[in-house]
Every structure is written in structure tokens, then in C-alpha cells.
């Protein structure tokens, strides 16, 4: 294996990709104005928010421990359908309560046959604290803490529905919205950039999220996003334990495009339009280690009381 001043070539390539993505995240967090996808905004006391997030995901290739693409063994194909219920409630103007539970149908097919499994992936509870409001030049900012514990699925039945471990995650989220701005000389109804960064305490990972959005019409929002996880640990050989891969060494970055439609205003950004809204998106994992080269189609239904 090629060595460069004591480091392997694949480690240097991995650090380069991580550095580029981290710089993009920092730019989006520090740039003013910034606007985070929904999460920076808080609900006022007594208000409620519910989302049903549906994802259809498939993959025929993997990223190995070096970040190289490989075919899945035995001409395999993995598929999953994953609806998730998310609920948020304004306990008071400064504190929101969170609840989430995803259910997963997983299917693996190769030359040897088909395996199927289903169950609740995890149960998540959390809280979100308002740090600042979007007033004047001050951005909206909030701090979110969430605890997840595995659902009641059978860990001995393949394909796996998760890594089988509990986790505690903290995220910082910052955002600001501008109306009636020009982008490259073109007037738009809404323009925003945003980001979030966090830390998963029990699994030692750094999740991040950045986005850019345009509002071409009153009730339509088009967004481009990068969503990913950095692993704080690296290896120079294939892990033998599949659960250890997901828990400690898996990292990925995926690009997504989404269109949101609301009957009144863009609920997904401003969070001030009551009633039902809908979102349709597509995502692709363009970088990773110890994970799948996955594609996904998402359908979101939002409701605010």
C-alpha cells in the first residue's frame, strides 16, 4: 500500500474530502445571511408540527473502507422503504419537545435468493432550545439534543434494520431568511443558505447538513442539499463486524434536490403556514466509506396546527 510520510494514500484522500466538505459547512454557517432547513425555527407555546417522511432507497454498489466503489457481493441489490413520523410541540416559546419513530421494510436479493425484514428502526425523543430569534441582522439559532434507542426488531434476522446501539446527538442550527433578493442578477422571491453541525456522543460521529434554496413562486421552494456524517475513527483494513462498521466507521455524504409545495406560503422554510404541505426529492450518495452507494426518492407530508 502506498505510504506518504507515514500515512496511507487512502487516508490522505479521505481527509481531503472531509476537509472540503467541512469548509463548505463552515462557509454556510458563518455567511450572513444564513438560513437552516426548518430546524433553526422554533414553534411558539402550544403550537404543533407533524411530518411523515417517506423514503424509498436502493443500492447495488458499496464504498469500501478506502472509499472506492465496489459491486455488492453475488450481484446483490438492497432496497428499503422507510416511513418516519416526526412530531414537534412548543412547550413554551424557548423550548420545543421532539419525537420520532421510523419503520423500515428492508429487502436483499442476490443470486442465492431473497431476504426480507421489517420493524421499527429506533425511537427518538429530544428537545430544542431557542438561542436567538431572526430579528434584524441577528439570525435564528437553536440547540437540539436527541436520544435514540433501537426499535424492537430482531437483530439476528437479515437484512439488518440498524446498528443496534443507542445514541445521543447534539446539533447547533443557525438560519436567516431574506425576501425579494437578487441571485446572480435575477430577482427571486426567497433565497437562503444554511447549515447545521453536531456530535453523536456514543458513536463518536459528526453529522452535518448544508443547503441552498430558491423560491421561484409564492408556494414553491426548490432546494439543493448536502447531508452527511464524518467518522472520527479510521481504519486501514476491512472491518470484520458488520455492526461495528455502522456504529464506528461508516461515513457518507449525499447530495439531494427537493421541491416543496404549500397552498399558502413555503411552510418548510418559514414554518408559519398552517395546514398541509408536500415535498418530493431525490438523493445520491456521492462519497462514503463502509457504506452503500445509494439512491433515494423521498416524499414528505407536513402539517402544522
CA triplet 143, 146, 148: central angle to 5 degrees? 165
The SS3 call for residue 269 is helix
**How large is the average pLDDT for residues 10-25?**
53
Which residues on neighbouring strands pair with residue 299, listed in sequence order? 54, 280
3-state secondary structure labels for all residues of 6-26: CEEHHHHHHHHHHHHHHHHHH
**How large is the average pLDDT for residues 248-259?**
91
pLDDT of residue 55: 97
Cis check for the bond before 159: say yes or no (omega within 30 of 0): yes
Total residue length of the chain: 305
* 115 close to 107: Cβ distance less than 8 angstroms: yes
Alpha-carbon Rg for the chain, nearest whole angstrom, is 20
* pLDDT of 57 over the 80 cut: yes
Task: Report the distance separating Cα 192 and Cα 220, nearest Å.
Answer: 14
pLDDT of residue 22: 53
**How large is the average pLDDT for residues 248-264?**
86
161 or 60, greater pLDDT: 60
Task: Report the distance separating Cα 35 and Cα 212, nearest Å.
Answer: 9
Paired sense of beta strands 167-175 and 140-150, if any: antiparallel
**How large is the average pLDDT for residues 287-299?**
95
pLDDT of residue 96: 95
Cis check for the bond before 261: say yes or no (omega within 30 of 0): no
* 68 close to 81: Cβ distance less than 8 angstroms: no
Burial code (b: 16+ CB inside 10 Å, e: under 16) for 81-112 equals ebbbebebbbeeeebbebebbbbbebbbbeee
pLDDT of residue 215: 78
* 162 close to 142: Cβ distance less than 8 angstroms: no
Highest mean pLDDT among 62-66, 184-188, 254-258: 254-258
DSSP of 40-104: TS-PPTT-EEEEEEEEEEEESEEE-TTS-EEEPGGG-EEEEEEEEEEEEEEEETTEEEEEEEEEE
* pLDDT of 7 over the 60 cut: no
pLDDT of residue 275: 72
* pLDDT of 89 over the 70 cut: yes
191-201 pLDDT per residue, tens = 666 778 999 88
Q: Could you give all domains of the chain from N- to C-terminal order, each with its CATH number?
A: 3-304 (2.40.160.40)
Q: Which pLDDT band, with edges at 50, 70 and 90, does 144 fall under?
A: very high
**How large is the average pLDDT for residues 137-163?**
84
Written as nine digits, the cell of 114 is 431473497
* 182 close to 169: Cβ distance less than 8 angstroms: no
49 or 97, greater pLDDT: 97
Task: Report the distance separating Cα 178 and Cα 17, nearest Å.
Answer: 31
Amino acid at each position: 500500500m502506498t505510504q506518504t510520510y507515514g500515512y496511507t494514500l487512502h487516508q490522505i484522500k479521505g481527509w481531503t474530502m472531509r476537509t472540503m466538505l467541512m469548509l463548505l459547512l463552515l462557509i454556510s454557517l458563518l455567511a450572513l445571511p444564513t438560513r437552516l432547513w426548518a430546524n433553526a425555527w422554533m414553534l411558539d407555546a402550544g403550537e404543533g408540527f407533524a411530518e411523515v417522511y417517506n423514503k424509498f432507497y436502493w443500492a447495488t454498489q458499496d464504498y469500501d473502507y478506502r472509499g472506492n466503489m465496489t459491486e455488492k457481493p453475488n450481484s446483490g441489490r438492497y432496497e428499503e422503504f422507510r416511513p418516519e413520523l416526526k412530531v414537534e410541540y412548543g412547550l413554551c416559546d424557548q423550548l420545543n419537545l421532539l419525537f420520532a419513530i421510523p419503520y423500515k421494510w428492508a429487502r436483499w436479493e442476490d443470486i442465492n435468493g431473497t431476504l426480507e425484514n421489517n420493524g421499527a428502526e429506533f425511537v427518538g425523543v429530544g428537545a430544542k432550545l431557542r438561542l436567538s430569534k431572526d430579528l434584524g441582522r441577528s439570525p435564528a439559532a437553536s440547540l437540539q439534543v436527541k436520544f435514540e434507542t433501537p426499535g424492537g426488531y430482531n437483530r439476528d434476522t437479515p437484512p439488518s434494520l440498524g446498528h443496534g446501539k443507542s445514541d445521543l446527538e447534539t446539533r447547533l442550527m443557525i438560519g436567516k431568511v431574506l425576501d425579494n433578493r437578487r441571485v446572480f442578477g435575477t430577482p427571486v422571491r426567497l433565497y437562503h443558505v444554511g447549515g447545521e453541525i453536531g456530535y453523536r456522543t456514543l458513536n463518536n460521529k459528526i453529522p452535518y447538513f448544508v443547503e441552498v434554496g430558491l423560491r421561484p413562486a409564492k408556494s414553491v421552494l426548490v432546494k439543493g442539499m448536502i447531508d452527511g456524517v464524518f467518522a472520527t475513527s479510521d481504519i486501514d483494513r476491512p472491518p470484520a463486524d458488520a455492526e461495528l462498521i455502522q456504529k464506528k466507521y461508516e461515513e457518507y455524504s449525499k447530495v439531494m434536490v427537493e421541491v416543496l409545495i404549500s397552498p399558502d406560503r413555503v411552510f418548510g422554510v418559514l414554518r408559519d403556514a398552517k395546514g398541509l404541505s408536500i415535498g418530493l426529492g431525490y438523493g445520491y450518495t456521492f462519497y462514503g466509506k463502509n457504506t452503500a452507494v445509494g439512491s433515494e426518492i423521498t416524499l414528505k407530508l407536513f402539517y402544522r396546527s
